[in-house]
Amino acid sequence: MTSTKLPLPTGIKFVFGGTAGMSATMFVHPFDLVKSRMQLSGEGGAVKKNKTSFHALARVLRNEGFLGLYTGLTAGLFRQATYATTRLGVYTTLFDMMQSPDGQPPSFTTKILCGITAGAFGAVVGTPAEISLIRMTVDGRLRVLIGYLRFLNDCYLSCSLPLEQRRGYKNVFNALYRICVEEGVFTMWRGCGPTVFRAMVVNAAQLATYSQSKQLLLSTGFFKDGISCHFCASMISGFVTALSSMPLDIAKTRIQNMRHVDGIPQYRGVLDVWVKTAHQEGFRSLWKGFSPYYLRIGPHTVLSFIVLEQLKKLYYVL
């Protein structure tokens, strides 16, 4: 982009950000599914169905087929349409507000604070889709299209949950409707606290480590400011981000998927999840599902960046 080109309108930035996030999700959604099933495997001292991420992946492919990896995709796309769009919009707005009168960008610390704030707002808006995503990916029920221009039919395959425990949501909108009717509107924001904290940690870690990793890679002289550098910096950033945010992510996942027994919730909060998980499954279980979580964060950042840049080029061409 040259200096003679006008900046993108704010509304277009929102649309492009959401589109880029949704496009990347099409590729990394299977990692989300494996991560969710790993985090719930062995919950409450139950026998672990998935010993490793590769074991979980093999079980899905064997029992549900390749399309089983995309169970809950509508929720994943809806999450990006809400969370990613809101986060980018809020960040862009705050970034512009914090610029100096002469157009100088805000300081690195200010950028981190803007990112944390944007992540928190995005998490609040995206929590309903997040809950739907968690429940649909662990449910094991897949909705597929059979034939050309035929109605959608439910395909019941060998699932990760027993029949009596499956919720059987048809799509993200059916999930949101049933959650409201069966459990109350406020259930859509169950686990909002850990979701917000996770988003704040993720944004802070990503902004700091990605910037520093990119700077370090460029200083070696082996990289230019291009896709290869962005990919390596994203994978380094993803590792640090995953390591620091996984305990919050597993707490979020289990709270959003929990059931009430005789009116009593399975968990009382984040600390209760951590204590019970560490006691029943071991301390390292707080990082259960680390591999797919890490493999999702890095590529998702890279793919989002590539799609976003291509959309910008297309905008100026048209």
pLDDT of residue 185: 92
φ and ψ at 145, to 5 degrees? -95, 120
Q: Do the strands 152-155 and 260-261 form a parallel or antiparallel pair, or are they unpaired?
A: unpaired
DSSP state of 48: P
User: In this predicted model, what pLDDT tens digit does every residue of 222-242 receive, in sequence order?
Assistant: 888 887 888 888 888 888 888
Selection from 103-112, 117-126, 149-158, 245-254 with the highest mean pLDDT: 117-126
- CB atoms inside a 10 Å sphere around CB 76: 26
Degrees, nearest 5: CA angle 309-70-147: 105
Instruction: Please give the average per-residue pLDDT across 77-102, as a whole number.
Output: 83
d(CA 301, CA 230) in angstroms, rounded, equals 9
User: In this predicted model, what pLDDT tens digit does every residue of 15-33 receive, in sequence order?
Assistant: 888 898 899 899 888 888 8
Q: Pick the range with the lowest mean pLDDT from 173-177, 264-268, 281-285.
A: 264-268
pTM: 0.69
Comparing 146 with 294, the larger pLDDT belongs to 294
Confidence tier at 162 by pLDDT (50, 70, 90): low
The CA-atom distances, in angstroms, between 225 and each of 214, 218, 222, 250, 278 are: 8, 7, 10, 35, 42
pLDDT of residue 145: 32
- Mean pLDDT in the chain? 79
Fold of 10-317: Mitochondrial carrier fold (1.50.40)
Rg (CA), the chain: 20
Comparing 37 with 113, the larger pLDDT belongs to 113
- CB atoms inside a 10 Å sphere around CB 188: 19
d(CA 3, CA 5) in angstroms, rounded, equals 5
Instruction: Please give the average per-residue pLDDT across 88-96, as a whole number.
Output: 80
pLDDT of residue 49: 61
Residue 180 has pLDDT above 90, yes or no: yes
Half-sphere exposure of 39 (CA within 13 A, CB side): 32
φ and ψ at 191, to 5 degrees? 75, 15
User: In this predicted model, what pLDDT tens digit does every residue of 198-211 receive, in sequence order?
Assistant: 888 887 777 677 77
Name the residue ranges covered by the structural domains of the chain: 10-317
Do the beta carbons of residue 216 and residue 291 sit within 8 Å?
A: no
- CB atoms inside a 10 Å sphere around CB 147: 7
pLDDT of residue 9: 81
Instruction: Please give the average per-residue pLDDT across 285-304, as a whole number.
Output: 83
Counts of helices then strands in the chain (DSSP H, E): 10, 4
pLDDT of residue 90: 83
Comparing 175 with 318, the larger pLDDT belongs to 175
Confidence tier at 153 by pLDDT (50, 70, 90): very low
Q: Pick the range with the lowest mean pLDDT from 81-90, 137-146, 286-295, 306-315.
A: 137-146
The proportion of the chain whose per-residue pLDDT surpasses 90, expressed as a percent, equals 8
pLDDT of residue 77: 92
Which residue is listed with tokens 């100088």? 104
pLDDT of residue 142: 38
d(CA 138, CA 33) in angstroms, rounded, equals 7
Tokens of 281: 């499954």
Show the beta-strand stretches assigned E in the chain.
142-145, 152-155, 260-261, 264-265
φ and ψ at 89, to 5 degrees? -65, -45
pLDDT of residue 164: 55
Name, in order, each residue with C-beta under 8 angstroms of 8's C-beta and a sequence gap of 6 or more: 16, 312, 315
What is the separation of C-alpha 87 from the centre of its chain, rounded to a whole number of angstroms?
Answer: 12
